[in-house]
Amino acid sequence: MAGLEVRDVTVRYGGATAVDGVSLAVAPGEVVALLGPSGCGKSSLLRAVAGLEPLAGGRVAYDGADLAGVPVHRRRFGLMFQDGQLFPHRDVGRNVAYGLETQPLGRAARDARVAELLDLVGLAGYERRPVPTLSGGEQQRVALARALAPRPRLLLLDEPLSALDRQLRERLANEVRSVLVGTGTTAVFVTHDHAEAAVVADRVAVMDAGRLLQVAAPDELRTAPASDRVAEFLGLRG
Ligand SMILES: Nc1ncnc2c1ncn2[C@@H]1O[C@H](COP(=O)(O)OP(=O)(O)OP(=O)(O)O)[C@@H](O)[C@H]1O
């Protein structure tokens, strides 16, 4: 099967089960949001897909190949977190170039790729800017450019906009959507904000207490929530 396949995945911390037998497929070029309340296991599932958390059960495969035993850096996945985790002592250009350093690219090709990515995220010409002079929104744009630069086959985003204020979050959610769609990037986007999930994703996977409650397109979720709990998460009730 092409794309990401998560089958019956369980993640445990000691005796506590954070992810409880989750199955989810993400097709090539598709953006899926993982939506749910704090502590429901979204980050744990994302980390398990990335290879950062061991599986207590189940399997994660990409393009039909089981990833058990494949370390994080060999999965060709990109990662982006709430706090973009930029290198403060590198300028913007060298942050974006970071993921390209292991690739056999000449300097001119690397610079061109950095410029292309900065243009894509609306920061053309920012190469020499020191990271501490950037606003929070600009920093997340740089983090997105950095994550996309090596052309990951899957991008995993963990609450990438949560540290920003609501207005900026809404605008950036739209921008992230168009960057992902424009680059044909396959992505899983973790959020606790249902409006953000609906803007960013082709399908939304609603998660609660370690399990998936429903996976559907945003419109379908709104018109046909599978349960009261799903409706509650979507702000339709309660
Ligand atoms: N390293 C860890 N050790 C022990 N328990 C953990 C660890 N990481 C997460 N947990 C627990 O696993 C459960 C799921 O956490 P997780 O971070 O995956 O949820 P989440 O939905 O991403 O939450 P949030 O939106 O608050 O980040 C929580 O009960 C959490 O306390």
What ipTM did this prediction achieve?
Answer: 0.94
Q: Which atom of ligand 1 is nearest to the CA of 14?
A: 4
117-126 tens-digit pLDDT: 999 999 999 9
Separation of 38 CA from ligand 1 center, angstroms? Answer: 8
15 lines ligand 1 (CB under 6 A): no
Query: What's the pLDDT score for residue 85?
Result: 85
Other C-beta atoms within 10 Å of 184: how many? 10
Separation of 115 CA from ligand 1 center, angstroms? Answer: 37
As given in the structure block, the two tokens for residue 27 are: 């097709």
User: Helix, strand, or coil here: 34?
Assistant: strand
Q: In what order do the strands lie in the sheet with 77-80?
A: 77-80, 154-158, 187-191, 31-35, 203-208, 211-216
The model's confidence at residue 84, banded by pLDDT at 50, 70 and 90, is low
The model's confidence at residue 150, banded by pLDDT at 50, 70 and 90, is very high
Separation of 39 CA from ligand 1 center, angstroms? Answer: 5
Query: What's the pLDDT score for residue 238?
Result: 53
25-75 tens-digit pLDDT: 999 999 999 999 999 999 999 999 999 999 999 999 999 999 999 999 999
Query: Residue 189's closest CA among 167, 209, 207?
Result: 207
